[in-house]
Every structure is written in structure tokens, then in C-alpha cells.
Structure 1
Amino acid sequence: MDALLERLRAGLPAEALITDPDVTASYAHDMASFCDAGTPAVVVLPRTVEEVQHVMRTATALRVPVVPQGARTGLSGAANASDGCIVLSLVRMDRILEISPVDRIAVVEPGVVNAALSRAVGELGLYYPPDPSSWEMCTIGGNIGTASGGLCCVKYGVTAEYVLGLEVVLADGRLLNTGRRTAKGVAGYDLTRLFVGSEGSLGIVVKAVLALRPRPPQQLVLAAEFPSAAAACDAVCRIMERGHTPSLLELMDRTTVRAVNAMTSMGLPESTEALLLCAFDTPDPAADLAAVGELCKASGATEVVPADDVAESELLLQARRSALPALETVKSATMIDDVCVPRSRLGAMIEGTAAIAEKFALTIGVCAHAGDGNTHPVVCFDHTDPDESRRARASFDEIMALGLELGGTITGEHGVGVLKKEWLARELGEVGLELQRGIKAAFDPLGLLNPGKLF
């Protein structure tokens, strides 16, 4: 410990180091349940690339593990500390270095908060689409690490589609530049995409070149009530089959709607079994919503209500963004799953989750990015009750098994971390896992970067 601190202090300002155990303990974990976390030796908060390089050179020389962190809003334990590690928190590297309306790019440091970037580019008539529910808190570096999605994925895609280039500090302290600033580029292997979703296991992202779009028109939202989740999922299939491209297509089941009302007093319709929100940011959103409304009615919607204006639309979107925090108030703890299935199997996924909730006598609310099949079943349980905690964990595993059975994946946007290591192995298979480990070894031969995560 003394040798580690001495070497770190040689290349870092005093304020960049935290050794108080009461403070370092607060950096030990992210927001995931059922994920072990160790005790860090020290927390480092660098402000420059050179300081990050110094940390990694020190870690390599002393063989000390390093756990990179952003805002710790993750839900899989990917940012959890290992015993004796250096926690490398990148939240102070929070500068927007460049915004180019001509090239339609932004160059940012990893600690930039997603919402701050969105607002900054918006002032120039531009748009950064990825918008996780935690966008007011989560950082771009964390978004890159977990390949985050958000509400707009159905039309605009996920984080990976907006990362053009990266500057990465490798495990031994060398600086690697990947990708490009240009609209096109196919020189060599696509290392940029390799880092997106790698959860800090291959290198430390210290700068990102992000693609931007022109700011779209303000979107209008439609809310449709359904007598069953199956009927709502049928409407989703009809909407996509008919060629519509909504900017948002979100689903909340009855449990989620009631939780949102209890927390926010928004007055959402609690009698519905499923509430579908559909938005368009097209030149004539009202016409698009009218067409979708007819499809919802054909699928059995009992009520279809298009928003009258942008303010009413924003209120409905706020209800959806409140879904996960609201479900967290139902019991003392939650496990938030992140299973993505083909759109055509969305109904089976939600019905199967309801059956699992009944089997284990648990409250499981489901909110979903319905347009891309990404479900978030939220298992609510009393963490002080050992039996209920056991059932919660068992239900979580059955939900993931159901997702794979339906041709899906164990994570659409939250990542693997600690929580889903076993399930990653099942999804990838023996050959896939062997090759992934080989990639890890090529970038981090000593296994110092975020050990114990992914596999």
C-alpha cells in the first residue's frame, strides 16, 4: 500500500487521491443488486490523459488491478471494486472539447454527462440521440463501456452507432487512437466497436469522437391502453410491420403504471393492463399518430389518446423515465433485468415473465423499449427476507433463460458485469467464450483491467 501510494503521488496532484476508507467505500459498487464488491485500496480522480497513463503504468509495475468508473449508475456490477484495487473514477474528465456542426461530431472526455452533451449540441441545432433513462446522471464514458441504449433506439439506434473514434489508455499506459473523424472509414479492424461494450476490461477511454445528427422536430406522443400485454405487443408488431418508424415506442405494464402513479401522482390509467407510448418526430407527427392509433385499436386498445402538444408529450415521456425509480419504491430492493428478444417474441417474453412472477409469488413490473424488443423486468423484493431474496434471484435467472429460449440476449444495454457472468458463458458458447478471452488477453495480458467482470 505504501509503495502504491508513493508511486501514484509522484505523478498526481494531492486532490486526485482519496484514501479515507469511509470515502473509498462509497466508490465500491454501482446500483446493481446481488453483486459482490471488494474494498478498494485507493480512489483516483484524474483530470488529464497523462494522469490516467501514470495510474496505469503504476498499476502495471506493481500488478495492482484497476476498476474504471463513471457515475456508477450501472445495473450489472460492472463498476464494482475488487479488493485492493485502484478505483479509477473518470468523472472529473468532463470537458466537451469540440462540437463541429459541419462535420457533425462532438469530441468529449469520458466524464461528460449525457444530458449535458445533449443540451450543448442542441444549442447548435444538433442532436445526440442515445438517451438512457439515467441520462441526467450517467456519463458518456459509462455509456460507451456498457453500449447503452435508451428510449429513442427504435429509430436512432444505440451508443455503438454514434462512436466514431476513441482515445484509449491501455493497461500498460500506452495511448491508442482508434477510428476516425470522417463520415466513412474502413482502415483495419474496427477496434472502436470492440471497446464499445467492453465494460472497461480492455482499456480506459479518455476521449471519444461522437457522431451527431441534425436536431429533429419536436415529437408528439400517443398513449394507448390495452386489456393485456399480449394485445399491446400485437400493436407493436403491427406498427413495425406497416413500415412506421416512431421515434419512441415504449411499454409499461400495470404494475409499472401503478408504481409511477404512487411516486409521481401523474394520474396514469391504473385500470389498464398495459400502456403503450408511441412518438413521432416527423414533419407531420399528428398524421403518423392517427395511423398508429388505428393500428392500436385494431389490436384491441380500449383507449387511444394522442397528446395535444409538446408539453403533454413531455409529461408522458417523464412518466416512462420514472418507471425504474418508481419500481424501486415498491419493495426495499430490486433486480433489474435487461433481456432483449426479437420484436415478434415480445408478447411471449412479457407473458412468460408474468408466469414467473406468479410461480415465485413476487411482484415483477415490466417496462420495455418495445420497438426494439428490449424488456426490463424489475423484480421487487424485501432484501431483509432471506427466502424472498432467494426467490428473487431464482426468478431473475428464469427470466434470462426465457429470453435465450425465445432467441434473445441476456443484455440489450446494461452490460454483463458481475451479475450475468454465468449467463454470458451460456449465450456465447464454448468457442465464443474462448475467443473473447483471447481478445482480453491481447489487450490486458496481466488481467489488471476490471478483473472478475464479464467472464
Structure 2
Amino acid sequence: MNGVPESNPGHLAALLREGLPAEAVLSDPDVTASYANDMASFCEAGTPAVVVLPRTVEEVQHVMRTATALRVPVVPQGARTGLSGAANASDGCIVLSLTKMDRILEISPVDRIAVVEPGVVNAVLSRAVNEHGLYYPPDPSSWEQCTIGGNIGTASGGLCCVKYGVTAEYVLGLDVVLADGRLLSTGRRTAKGVAGYDLTRLFVGSEGSLGIVVRAVLALRPEPPRQLALAAEFGSAADACAAVCKIMEGGHVPSLLELMDRTTITAVNDMAQMGLPDTTEALLLAAFDTLDPAADLAAVAELCTAAGAAAVVPADTHAESELLLQARRLSLTALEAVKGTTMIDDVCVPRSRLADMLDGTARIAEKYGLTIGVCAHAGDGNTHPTVCFDAQDPDESRRARESFDEIMALGLELGGTITGEHGVGVLKKEWLAREIGPVGVELQRGVKQTFDPLGLLNPGKLF
């Protein structure tokens, strides 16, 4: 049974209201339709039977017990800022929106942890821990909207990953409601712990397919000094990538090392009038949050100049630095404005192959006659080739999809991965199988069977 029979959605809603407030169960089709999908293009989405917005762990458990009893699929959701279709509804499902579970339960400066519910917005948590002199590093571009639960589900990253790593490195423990409604606690709140299999890491990046995260223990760091940034202009992407390699080879530890190609720079200027140098082929942004960031920037400036930078402009103030970083954060929104629709790839390659990835993407754009802008977390090789197209043009849409697939194939050919931080969802199911191979698929399906034997949790995603 893959969903609720059309004649019984009212029965499902009635049963759910036995354990949830009436206002937490939405069954109006016009309302539930608005929860059908996330921000990914080319990803199919079904029609949910009902949307629930629980506020407590017990309410989530009631939802899962009801779903198991009726054999109804459940699709967990956060803010739906995802870019892979992982939060898309399936026909007849219960959409389980966790946005109302948005409490910060604890911030401990001594233990350097925060305990939060899944609906806490990333930026809200970041500002709250800053008040205690602490820092939560993962900072996706959508940090003002995306939730911690969604970040955990997709193992998301951000601009600071080159120094501080991704979400998985900050999740110490989880409370998870399983498919049958049982509550599982994993991990710890201590600095160290190696008891048994690392189930916490297993849930991070599982896209809601193994259980519903209802509480997370997150590691924090002391708040670093405010960062200073520089912008280096290059006449070619290859020179910019050579500079990245020299910076990393030289042992420098920037808090941010980002790249924007000419297409992306132009799009940002057109949308926000940022005044970026749109005559250059590649703009490299580097930042340091050390005790002497000016000295670190000077050393990186020398490496950029040696690699062929036409100009290197250091920011003199924190405000100037933030303006540069804001330009980078606007990249994906600006590219979407070029044609109205985008397909955002998320291919991560070894840093040593970054230039090959950008050059190959440019050839693919030329082959298909499309605008493809590239912005990248250059310090960790995570590129975001963004295909811009008119969704109302069938031929252009076809070419967009084909170019997207060729970019993923190129990433694998270069020894990379199909996703560095956006997840698999619906968009990259076929490519996950290609990357991990038949043995990997078999074992991962076995894990799924153990946690979700009825296949009710986020069906149709990953595999």
C-alpha cells in the first residue's frame, strides 16, 4: 500500500487529530499542495493527503504510529530550501513538517554544545550562540531560511567548510523517531565517545529515509575573530584554480575560499548592482578569521599575483569583507534570474582537478548552447555549475537536463562525487547508483530495510 486510498484521507486526518491539535493537521487540498516540493527543478512531486505540523516528540511519535498502522508514507520536511527534491511529497503521503519544533533547548559554554529541535533556523542558532561567545560553523547559502533538521538530513555545508568542515562534523547526538514510532537516542554530549556503531553519522545525510530527527546535540566552537577578505581577479579560470592549489599547498587555512566565474559575476551585478569586476574571467574570494588576518591576506595576495592575478583587492574593513561575501551568497539567486529557472549541480572534485572541472563545464555549456554559471567552494573542490534555462521551452529544457547529466559524469571522471552538500533526493538517484556501484546500493538498501522495513519513510528518494 503506497498511500491513502482516495476515499479515506478524511479518516487519516481524523486519526492524526487524535494525537495532535486540530490546527496542526492540514487537509485542505489548496493548502497541502503548497507543501508538495522543495526548490529543485526537474523533480517529480506527488500530492500529499495531509500535512502535519507537530510541536512535540510525542506528537511525532503519534504520526509515525498512525502511518505504520495504515501503511501510509511519510515525507519529512524542514524549510524546503533543498535543491535535490529530497523534501518532495509522494502521492497520498503525510507531509511531516518540523518547522514548529523550533526551540533552542540548551546552550552550554562549558561543554560547548547546543541542544536544539529540528525546526531551528540556522541563522537563529548562529546568533544565539554568538551571544555566549560561541560559534556554530556550518553556514549554507540559505542559512537565513534553512533549518538544522534539514541541514542534518542533507549533510549540508557552506562557505566556511574549507576551514571548519560540514554539518556531519558538528552533530554529536540525535533523538530520532523511528518508522514505527519508537524513540532512539544516538551519540553523546561529551567531547569524545566511541561506544558501538556510529549511528549518529548514519542519520546525517540520510534525507529523512531512516527516521525523524526530533532533537540534536551540536558541537560548538569558540567564536573566532571577525574575518577579513580579499578579491583576486584572474584572466582565466585555470589561473584562479592554480592559485587555489598554491594556497592550500602552502599550508594556509582560510576561513573561506570561493570562486565565481564571469557568468556568475555578471548575473550578480545585473541583479544587485554590486560593482564586481565583470570583465574578469574568474574572481577568487579569500578570507581569514585569524588573529592577524591582514598578514594572512598579504601572503595569499602574493600567491594570487604569482599565479597570474590581474588585480588583488584586500578589504580594509569588516564591512567591506561582508559586502564581498554577500555577493557570493547572492550567486545562485542571481543566476536563477538569468532565464527564470536553474538546475544547480553540486559536484565535488579533488582540488587538483578543479580547473579541469571548470574547463569541462565551459565546454558542455558551449556544446548545448546554454548559459552555465559556476560558483564554487574552491577550497574544498565543491563546484556549483548552474544551468540557466527557460522552463517553457521544451528543447531548452531537454538540453538543460542533458548538460546537467554530463556535468555529473565529468565530476565522476575526475575522481569526484555527484553531491558535496545538496544530497541525492530525486534529482540524482540514478547517479548515486553509478557512483557507489551495485554492492554499495545493496548494502545501503539493507540499512534502509533495517530501519524502515515497510518503506514508509521518504519513499522514492536516494534509491
Q: Distance in 1 between matches of 2:409 and 2:180?
A: 38
Q: What's the offset of the Cα at 1:3?
A: 2.5
The answer on 1:298 being equivalent to 2:306 is: yes
Residue matched to 2:260: 252
Q: SS state of the match for residue 337, structure 2? A: coil
Residue matched to 1:219: 227
Q: What's the offset of the Cα at 1:154?
A: 0.2
Residue matched to 2:194: 186
The answer on 1:346 being equivalent to 2:346 is: no
Q: Which AA in structure 2 matches 1:320?
A: R
Q: What's the offset of the Cα at 1:6?
A: 1.9
Q: SS state of the match for residue 120, structure 2? A: coil
The answer on 1:137 being equivalent to 2:145 is: yes
Q: What's the offset of the Cα at 1:4?
A: 1.2
The answer on 1:308 being equivalent to 2:316 is: yes
Q: What's the offset of the Cα at 1:237?
A: 0.1
Which of 96, 100, 115 is residue 92 of structure 1 equivalent to?
100
Which of 414, 427, 440 is residue 435 of structure 2 equivalent to?
427
CA contact (8 A) 2:234 2:281 kept: yes
Q: Distance in 1 between matches of 2:140 and 2:289?
A: 18
Which of 10, 14, 29 is residue 18 of structure 2 equivalent to?
10
The answer on 1:166 being equivalent to 2:174 is: yes
CA contact (8 A) 2:114 2:219 kept: yes
**Cα shift readout 1:251-309 (whole Å, capped 9, x = no counterpart):** 00000000000111110001110000000001000000000000000110000000001
Q: SS state of the match for residue 5, structure 1? A: helix
Q: Distance in 2 between matches of 1:76 and 1:219?
A: 31
Q: SS state of the match for residue 232, structure 2? A: strand
Q: Which AA in structure 1 matches 2:151?
A: N
Q: Which AA in structure 2 matches 1:268?
A: L
Q: What's the offset of the Cα at 1:102?
A: 0.1
Q: Distance in 2 between matches of 1:307 and 1:154?
A: 20
The answer on 1:320 being equivalent to 2:332 is: no
Unpaired runs of at least 5, structure 1: none
Structure 1 segments (4+ residues) deviating >2 Å:
none
Q: Distance in 2 between matches of 1:6 and 1:383?
A: 39
Q: SS state of the match for residue 252, structure 1? A: strand
Q: SS state of the match for residue 423, structure 1? A: helix
**Cα shift readout 1:74-97 (whole Å, capped 9, x = no counterpart):** 000000000000000000000000
Q: What is the number of equivalent residue pairs in this alignment?
A: 455
Residue matched to 1:25: 33
Q: SS state of the match for residue 13, structure 2? A: helix
Q: SS state of the match for residue 235, structure 1? A: helix
Which of 227, 234, 237 is residue 229 of structure 1 equivalent to?
237
Q: Which AA in structure 2 matches 1:189?
A: Y
Q: SS state of the match for residue 276, structure 1? A: strand
Q: Distance in 2 between matches of 1:397 and 1:431?
A: 23
Q: What's the offset of the Cα at 1:365?
A: 0.1
Q: Distance in 2 between matches of 1:2 and 1:268?
A: 55
Q: Distance in 2 between matches of 1:70 and 1:230?
A: 38
Q: Distance in 2 between matches of 1:288 and 1:254?
A: 26
Which of 80, 83, 89 is residue 81 of structure 1 equivalent to?
89
**Cα shift readout 1:351-379 (whole Å, capped 9, x = no counterpart):** 00000000000000000000000000000
Q: Distance in 1 between matches of 2:251 and 2:42?
A: 41
The answer on 1:266 being equivalent to 2:253 is: no
**Cα shift readout 1:241-260 (whole Å, capped 9, x = no counterpart):** 00000000000000000000
Q: Distance in 2 between matches of 1:9 and 1:144?
A: 28
Q: SS state of the match for residue 435, structure 2? A: helix
Q: What's the offset of the Cα at 1:332?
A: 1.8
Q: Distance in 2 between matches of 1:65 and 1:91?
A: 19
Residue matched to 1:367: 375
Q: SS state of the match for residue 305, structure 2? A: helix
Residue matched to 1:117: 125
Residue matched to 1:195: 203
Residue matched to 2:452: 444
Q: Distance in 1 between matches of 2:185 and 2:418?
A: 30
Q: What's the offset of the Cα at 1:9?
A: 1.1
**Cα shift readout 1:63-114 (whole Å, capped 9, x = no counterpart):** 0000000000000000000000000000000000000000000000000000
Q: What's the offset of the Cα at 1:224?
A: 0.1
Q: What's the offset of the Cα at 1:2?
A: 2.9
The answer on 1:50 being equivalent to 2:69 is: no
The answer on 1:288 being equivalent to 2:296 is: yes
Q: SS state of the match for residue 279, structure 1? A: strand
Q: Which AA in structure 2 matches 1:125?
A: G
Q: Which AA in structure 2 matches 1:65?
A: P
CA contact (8 A) 2:13 2:27 kept: no
The answer on 1:72 being equivalent to 2:77 is: no
Q: Which AA in structure 2 matches 1:99?
A: I
The answer on 1:148 being equivalent to 2:149 is: no
Unpaired runs of at least 5, structure 2: 1-8
How high is the sequence identity, in percent, across the aligned residues? 85
| RMSD (Å), alpha carbons | 0.4
